[in-house]
Amino acid sequence: MTDVLLTIGFFAASALLLWLFVWSWRGRTHVARWWYRDIYGSDSMAMGFFPGVGIVLFGVGLYRVLPDSLIGIAYLFIVIGALVAMIGMVLPFLWGPRFYKDFRKRERTRAKRK
């Protein structure tokens, strides 16, 4: 029973992190844009950590559910998730929603004026 609950927990945590990523990406409310003005690395969390770890947790859930003949699919999700997390956390400015890219351009312009 605990194995089933743990597997459900992996899938639920994956869905929660991916939902948080999509909600933050869309940024339709002020609260949803919590991450993009923070100077302490919240952009790395929202654009890299959340989707990457969400994909890894989905892969771990698949690993626990799939038969041995299909376990490579789970490994693929785990590796892709780890790469997304690493790239997104190190280089969050390479991708992001339009309001984030506009904010970054304004910040660079303001920094050049000083």
pLDDT in tens, 35-91: 777 666 677 778 888 899 999 999 999 999 999 999 999 999 999 999 998 888 777
What per-residue confidence (pLDDT) applies to 40?
65
Residue 13 has pLDDT above 90, yes or no: yes
Q: What is the DSSP letter of 49?
A: I
Please tell me the distance from the alpha carbon of residue 38 to that of residue 60, in angstroms, as a whole number.
Answer: 31
Please tell me the distance from the alpha carbon of residue 97 to that of residue 94, in angstroms, as a whole number.
Answer: 10
For the question of whether the overall pTM of this predicted structure is more than 0.85, the answer is no
pLDDT band at residue 31 using 50, 70 and 90 as cut-offs: confident
